[in-house]
């Protein structure tokens, strides 16, 4: 059953030197319990895309297209509908726990706050619920963690607390933005296992640089480059048979696959190249790639935006 869809999403930021094309004509569909990994290098538009889903972008941003959650267009929803969707239908694990946790409030208070506000719990009930949430995400000493301030937690513990925060209102869909970033190998593995467990009966959109995390958690992968989707397909297919030269390069740049960086740099989103956005860095580029923008096309759910791949 289709629960979530994005149609022709375009996100532009007016800037002094022109317009930043952060997200361009993105389309995607998620069925109930789908686990989608969105991958791509820094600055390609992943977080902007995630934030647009809960309308977290600032007022001057120009957004067009549709973001449909169970048929309701989030972009045109009124405040009360939006409020119901935020946290309760779609939960968000924001990139960087340092930014998503309030440094002057205890972890327990931060979880309890949304229960008091949204679920009308008393403060005693809410604090007890916060402890239960912390226990659920694997803390063996939930009371102590609930009474701790963010700076008293290690990176892995803070990320675990952020997962609890995102799950507080038991949303049907979860967006996790780089949940394993900056964690040591052991904490990374623990957070991956936690997300697998916690998202079992949920629809998941996970943004990650980490191919291992994407392989373990997702059943589908979408690859983004310079604001647009350039490849998508079933996880196993993308991991074992990537077709776009960028996806191949992104994989070879991973520490476990040789750490070979892709030559060149991503284009400025203020001044995108004509034709294929990857052509200046692509060793397979031929004249058509410099002039014609390729479509995202393919068979059996594996689509690629590349003239050289078809």
Ligand X SMILES: Nc1ncnc2c1ncn2[C@@H]1O[C@H](COP(=O)(O)OP(=O)(O)OP(=O)(O)O)[C@@H](O)[C@H]1O
Is residue 106 at the binding interface for Mg ion, with CB under 5 A as the rule? Answer: no
Task: Work out which of 20, 85, 153, 204 binds ligand X, going by CB under 6 A.
Answer: 20
SS3 270: coil
Q: Which residue has the tokens 């959650």?
A: 69
Q: How far is the CB of 50 from Mg ion (least distance, A)?
A: 8
Q: How far is the CB of 10 from ligand X (least distance, A)?
A: 13
Judged by CB under 5 A, the number of residues near Mg ion is 2
Q: How far is the CB of 44 from ligand X (least distance, A)?
A: 4
Is residue 47 at the binding interface for Mg ion, with CB under 5 A as the rule? Answer: yes
Task: Work out which of 32, 43, 125, 149 binds ligand X, going by CB under 6 A.
Answer: 43
Q: How far is the CB of 247 from Mg ion (least distance, A)?
A: 18
Query: Are the beta carbons of 277 and 290 closer than 8 angstroms?
Result: no
Q: Which residue has the tokens 């949430």?
A: 133
The stretch among 40-48, 104-112, 164-172, 210-218 that binds ligand X (CB under 6 A) is 40-48
Site string for Mg ion, 72-101 (x = CB under 5 A): -----------------------x------
Choose the one of ligand X, Mg ion, none that binds residue 275, judging by a C-beta under 5 to 8 angstroms depending on kind.
none
Positive or negative CA dihedral for 62, 68, 73, 77? Answer: negative
Q: Which of 117, 40, 75, 17 is nearest to 305 (CA)?
A: 40
Is residue 47 at the binding interface for ligand X, with CB under 6 A as the rule? Answer: yes
The CA angle 176-174-55, to the nearest 5 degrees, is 85
Residues 237-276 interacting with ligand X (rule: CB under 6 A): 269
If phi > 0 it is left, if psi is from -120 to 50 it is alpha, else beta; for residue 11 that is beta
The CA angle 6-9-15, to the nearest 5 degrees, is 150
Query: Are the beta carbons of 55 and 78 closer than 8 angstroms?
Result: no
Task: Work out which of 24, 45, 139, 232 binds ligand X, going by CB under 6 A.
Answer: 45
CB nearer ligand X, residue 48 or residue 137 = 48
Cβ within 8 Å of residue 18, ≥6 positions away: 270, 271
Tokens of 294: 């390729």
Is residue 99 at the binding interface for ligand X, with CB under 6 A as the rule? Answer: no
Type and span of the H or E element at 280: none
CB nearer Mg ion, residue 47 or residue 247 = 47
Cα separation values, 277 from 224, 297, 304, Å:
11, 16, 13
Tokens of 288: 């058509």
What are the beta bridge partners of residue 72? Answer: 69
Query: Are the beta carbons of 189 and 5 closer than 8 angstroms?
Result: no
Task: Work out which of 12, 22, 92, 308 binds ligand X, going by CB under 6 A.
Answer: 22
Is residue 56 at the binding interface for ligand X, with CB under 6 A as the rule? Answer: no
Query: Are the beta carbons of 119 and 132 closer than 8 angstroms?
Result: no
Is residue 48 at the binding interface for ligand X, with CB under 6 A as the rule? Answer: yes
Q: How far is the CB of 116 from Mg ion (least distance, A)?
A: 30
Q: How far is the CB of 266 from ligand X (least distance, A)?
A: 9
CB nearer Mg ion, residue 42 or residue 140 = 42
Where does this chain bind ligand X (CB under 6 A)? 13, 20, 22, 40, 42-48, 58, 95, 269
Residues that bind Mg ion (CB under 5 A): 47, 95
């Amino acid at each position: 059953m289709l629960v979530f869809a994005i149609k022709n999403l375009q996100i532009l930021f007016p800037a002094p030197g022109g317009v930043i094309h952060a997200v361009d004509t993105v389309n995607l569909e998620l069925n109930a319990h789908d686990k989608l990994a969105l991958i791509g290098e820094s600055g390609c538009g992943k977080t902007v895309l995630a934030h647009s889903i809960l309308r977290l972008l600032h007022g001057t941003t120009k957004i067009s297209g549709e973001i449909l959650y169970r048929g309701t267009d989030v972009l045109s929803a009124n405040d009360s509908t939006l409020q119901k969707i935020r946290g309760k239908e779609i939960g968000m694990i924001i990139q960087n726990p340092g930014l998503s946790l309030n440094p002057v409030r205890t972890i327990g208070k931060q979880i309890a706050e949304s229960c008091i506000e949204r679920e009308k719990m008393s403060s005693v009930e809410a604090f007890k619920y916060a402890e239960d949430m912390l226990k659920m995400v694997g803390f063996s000493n939930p009371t102590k963690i609930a009474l701790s301030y963010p700076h008293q937690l290690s990176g892995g513990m803070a990320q675990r607390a952020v997962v609890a925060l995102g799950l507080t209102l038991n949303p049907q869909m979860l967006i996790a933005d780089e949940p394993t970033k900056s964690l040591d190998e052991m904490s990374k593995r623990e957070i991956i296992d936690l997300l697998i467990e916690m998202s079992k009966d949920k629809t998941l959109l996970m943004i990650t640089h980490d191919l291992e995390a994407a392989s373990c958690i997702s059943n589908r992968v979408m690859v983004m480059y310079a604001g647009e989707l350039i490849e998508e397909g079933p996880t196993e297919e993308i991991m074992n048979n990537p077709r776009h030269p960028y996806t191949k390069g992104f994989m070879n740049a991973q520490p476990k696959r040789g750490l070979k960086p892709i030559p060149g740099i991503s284009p400025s989103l203020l001044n995108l190249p004509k034709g294929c956005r990857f052509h200046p860095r692509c060793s397979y580029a031929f004249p058509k790639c410099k002039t014609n923008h390729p479509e995202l096309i393919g068979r059996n759910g594996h689509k690629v935006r590349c003239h050289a791949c078809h």
